[in-house]
Structure 1
Amino acid sequence: MKIDVLNAFLSHVVTFVEGLSALLAIVFYLKYKSTPLKYFPILLVYVFITGLLGVYISRNMGPNNVVIYNVFNVIYFLFFYYVFYNVIRKIRYRNWIVIGICLFLLSSIINLFYENFLFESQLLSYAIGAVVLLFCIILYFIEVLTTSRILLVNQEIVFWISIGLLLFYVGYLPIKFTRNVYAFESANTYSTLRMVHLILVILMNTCFIIGFLWTKKK
């Protein structure tokens, strides 16, 4: 019972930090409007609306709100692939990102043949998408560490976004695959995994917020 109350509280915190992230992305838009992140406010507003819509559907129209998240994941991954492709300068790394994008798109197509896009979470597509995104983040960190960019890296919004995404997907990727199993075996374990998930979302958005507040105009 206590963990359910905590999850309810964390859900409200998630809504708050996602809304705050979207708001700050708009307020500080001039800091990064000339960078590949120029569409980031649109994405964060989309994240915020998707979260609210997902809650509304699950409470008023039944528990199956999977389709909106399946669509969301495709858009979300492709956006950050675009960002890292343009932020990273080494041609070899860029070529690797293109290969990763092709793998993600291929997995998304394959996934359609054995999991219903409207009613089932696209696990293969999500797994490949998350792994490719983590790979992009690693390439970004490698490039930063091996160039003079490291001297002012904490002034880059992409740096804080990368940390947030890294924390979230490293923590959530295994949860994505175990939640469905434990949902049928142990309600308590499922609730615990959901709590961890919500905390990861809060940490990710906190990193975004720090990036908006801390960094300087590019």
Structure 2
Amino acid sequence: MFEFLRSYIIYMALLSGTIGLFALPKLPSNKAKFLVLLIWFSIVIEIIGYYFTEWTGLLNFYVYNFYMLASLSAYILLLRALLTKKDHRISAILFLILFIVSFFLNILYFKEDINRSYTYSFAIGVLVVLILSCLYLIEIFNSEKILNFKKSVFFWYILGILVFHVPFTPFMLAINWFLIKQDDSIFSLVLFILNFLAHSCFIIGFIWSEKKYNY
């Protein structure tokens, strides 16, 4: 019933990515521009994932597992760049190593059946991003940035990441742990709603943020 909604996700990404391009003049730092790059990277992945089976005859788990590794690693590195305390930045590097190791352990564990989502690695990566995001917010709330945090594109981008990944992770784990049959209609609806919320946060950040808070 809702399967068609999944095809509209790329249009939301195209909208936020295009608005991000127009917002580039007020994204002065490389890490601010990196946010736009990440959105366009997701668009490329969506296109490749859509046609991957048709092009190769293989299931597209390869594409989305790679995207999981690349995107969550990028989020961790982004948060490390945003964190100011030395111990928090060191923790980010250690967490990144933990996530990458878990990913390759996942490959070894399922080496006889690689046509599956690496749900456990995804959950570890999301947990790491959640922890680092909390550290980032704590640093903001304990500094002068609290006065203008809503004018920073980084705040809205991190919020968008959390809005998508935090609800989606238990949904995926429920399917995996309790062997719930994946209903494509429900799955597409959940993906659509969470992507809508995430890209809404990205768009608000690009429009509402101010250049002097985007360094």
Query: How would you bin the TM-score normalised by the shorter chain?
Result: 0.7 to 0.9
Q: Residues of 2 paired with 1:179 and 1:62: CA distance?
A: 26
Across the aligned residues of Structure 1 and Structure 2, the Cα RMSD in angstroms comes to: 2.1
Residues 13-32 of structure 1 mapped to structure 2, 5 A cutoff: 13-32=8-27
Find out whether 1:158 has 2:161 as its counterpart. Answer: no
Write out per-residue CA displacement over residues 122-177 of structure 1, whole angstroms, 9 at most, x where no aligned residue.
22221111111111111111111111101000010010011111111111001122
Structure 1 runs not aligned, ≥5 long: none
Contact residue 115 and residue 121 of structure 1 kept, 8 A: no
1:141 — aligned with what?
137
Residue 193 of structure 1 and its aligned partner are, at CA, apart by 3.8
The counterpart of 1:182, out of the listed 168, 180, 183, is: 180
- Return the TM-score normalized by structure 1: 0.87
SS at match of 2:45: helix
Structure 2 runs not aligned, ≥5 long: none
2:126 — aligned with what?
130
Percent of pairs with identical residues: 26
Q: Residues of 2 paired with 1:111 and 1:138: CA distance?
A: 26
Letter in 1 for 2:93: V
Q: Residues of 1 paired with 2:188 and 2:7: CA distance?
A: 14
Residue 55 of structure 1 and its aligned partner are, at CA, apart by 2.2
Q: Which deviates more from structure 2 when the two are superposed, residues 59-68 or residues 126-135? A: 59-68
SS at match of 1:135: helix
Find out whether 1:192 has 2:186 as its counterpart. Answer: yes
1:46 — aligned with what?
41
- Return the TM-score normalized by structure 2: 0.88
Write out per-residue CA displacement over residues 23-72 of structure 1, whole angstroms, 9 at most, x where no aligned residue.
12222112223142332222211101211222233577668210001111
Residue 178 of structure 1 and its aligned partner are, at CA, apart by 2.8
Residues 1-218 of structure 1 mapped to structure 2, 5 A cutoff: 4=1, 6-8=2-4, 10-57=5-52, 64-116=59-111, 118-180=114-176, 181-183=179-181, 187=183, 191-217=185-211, 218=214
Letter in 1 for 2:29: S
SS at match of 1:43: helix
Q: Residues of 1 paired with 2:118 and 2:190: CA distance?
A: 21
Q: Residues of 2 paired with 1:51 and 1:162: CA distance?
A: 21
Contact residue 77 and residue 92 of structure 2 kept, 8 A: no
Aligned length, in residue pairs = 209
Q: Residues of 2 paired with 1:176 and 1:58: CA distance?
A: 22
